[in-house]
Structure 1
Amino acid sequence: MRILVVDDEKDVELLFRQKFRKEIKNKSLELVFAFSGQEALEMLEKSVPPKVIYIFSDINMPGMTGLELLDKVKGKYPQIKVSMISAYGDTDNYNKAIESGAKEFFTKPIDFESLREEINGLIN
């Protein structure tokens, strides 16, 4: 299963690779990374249909926000599940994300056990 992580903070890649090293090693999970909403859309367009089945995106990014990315993904690729993350657990972002079709909403620091359960639910 291929997951796309979208976050403008580059250190997120190392963190995700550490937290999911077992799943990556046994090839049950493939992580790919984009560092902007635009880069994420370009990655999705490289294969038809996209090989990504789940997107985990930060909300607050320069340029295209995670909520704008969510709208574009849901409009063009409704089969892809998208969860959002924010450093701010504010109700406004939560409501916008869920109303726009987000599967889940996480706050930083990420609870990786909850995220693992979310991902395992998609695999099984």
Structure 2
Amino acid sequence: MSILVLVVDDEPDVEALFRQQFRRDLRAQRFVMDFAISATDALVRIANTIEQSLILILSDINMPGMTGLEMLPKVKAMRPEVPVIMITAYGDAETKRKAIESGASGLLTKPIDFTLLREEIDTRLEQAS
């Protein structure tokens, strides 16, 4: 069974950035990263993760169509055990409050601190094993 981290972001360069930052982990097959370009796409992918151990969802808040905050309760209904960390360019207190109240495990601001994110993924990998 593969261990999956799902990244949800409508910006096309995000996938390349994450693959670059986690290239050693991905090459060593510590986990798999999947990418969704919209909240709707993410919900379909989450519904199809039965064969994989989904350990973390990272989602942008501001996306066209359904926002990350609108997607969050749907994700928690489908997979309540999976932590969701929201990502935003606007790390103000109100955004953080809304994200946490909606069920997010945390909030990262852009530019992303990949050292902090790596620690979070390592923690989730330990819990999954």
Please give the range of the TM-score, normalised by the shorter of the 2 chains. over 0.9
| Distance 1:11-1:32 versus aligned 2 partners, 3 A rule | same
- Of 45-54 and 105-114, more deviation after overlay is shown by 45-54
1:44 and 1:50 in contact (8 A); partners too: no
> What's the C-alpha RMSD, in Å, of the aligned pairs?
1.3
Following TM superposition, by how much is the alpha carbon of 1:79 offset from its aligned partner in structure 2, in angstroms? Answer: 1.1
For residues 54-113 of structure 1, the C-alpha deviation after alignment (integer angstroms, 9 at most, x for no partner) is 100000000010011111111221011100000011111100111122111100000000
Asked if structure 2 preserves the Cα contact closer than 8 Å seen for 1:44 and 1:51, the reply is no
Q: 1:100 to 1:47 in 2, by over 3 A?
A: same
Alignment coverage as a number of residue pairs: 124
TM-score, normalised to structure 2, is 0.91
CA distance in 1, matches of 2:123, 2:83: 12
Q: Percent identity?
A: 52
Partner of 1:116: 118
Report the 3-state secondary structure (helix = DSSP H, G, I; strand = E; otherwise coil) of the residue aligned with 1:101.
coil
Alignment partners' CA distance in 1, 2:21 and 2:44: 26
Q: Distance in 1 between matches of 2:21 and 2:9?
A: 16
Unmatched runs of 5 consecutive residues or more in structure 1: none
1:75 equivalent in alignment to 2:77: yes
Q: State the alpha-carbon separation in 1 of the partners of residues 99 and 119 from structure 2.
A: 20
Q: 2:19 is matched with which residue?
A: 17
Q: Please give the secondary structure, in 2, of the residue aligned with 1:83.
A: strand
Q: What is the TM-score normalised by the length of structure 1?
A: 0.95
- 1:52-67 equivalences under 5 Å are 52-67=54-69
Q: CA deviation at 1:47?
A: 4.1
